[in-house]
């Protein structure tokens, strides 16, 4: 299992020659778009759902014209390690990667207390609250 503070290889470096190394900062899980299944409980929710469905369809059509993925929408949200499908990574830049495509190669060279603190913080109430805005991804 890959944990926060582990070092992983994912993708290639900027010269496309060697595996790129990253530090794991958080675990993420994939959440599918549930707008179609949302049951509006009152007139205001019905209006909001209609607006959101129209906006999603406009975005789908725009992406289709540009030749971008447009079939299915999902987002990645913070979660506990056992729920994770992806990890948040940091190196020279940052990225999100499927766990299945990451190879664990080590752990940061920090003291045990600092590693423990970072791991506890990553599953703290702040990150798992679900109060963050996440961009929709398309496939």
Q: What is the pLDDT along the chain (139 residues), one digit of tens a residue?
A: 999 999 999 999 889 999 999 999 999 999 999 999 999 899 999 999 999 999 999 999 999 999 999 999 999 999 999 999 999 999 989 999 999 999 999 999 999 999 999 999 999 999 999 888 888 999 9
The DSSP secondary structure of the chain, one letter per residue, reads ---TTEEEEEEE-TTSSSEEEEEEEEEEEEEE--GGG----SHHHHHHHHHHHHHHHHHHHHHHHTT---S-EEEEEE--GGG-SEEEEESSSEEEEEGGG-EEEEE-S--HHHHHHHHHHHTSHHHHT--S----EE-
Whole-prediction pTM: 0.86
């Amino acid at each position: 299992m890959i944990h926060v503070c582990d070092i992983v290889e994912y993708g290639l470096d900027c010269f496309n020659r060697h595996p790129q190394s990253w530090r794991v900062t958080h675990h993420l899980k994939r959440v599918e778009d549930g707008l179609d299944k949302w049951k509006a409980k009152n007139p205001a929710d019905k209006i909001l759902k209609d607006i959101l469905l129209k906006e999603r369809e406009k975005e789908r059509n725009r992406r289709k014209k540009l030749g971008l993925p447009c079939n299915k929408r999902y987002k990645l949200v913070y979660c506990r390690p056992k729920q994770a499908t992806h990890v948040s990574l940091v190196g020279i830049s940052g990225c999100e990667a499927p766990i299945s495509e990451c190879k664990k190669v080590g752990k940061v060279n920090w003291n045990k207390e600092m590693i423990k603190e970072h791991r506890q913080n990553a599953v703290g109430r702040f990150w798992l609250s679900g109060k963050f805005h996440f961009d929709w991804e398309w496939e």
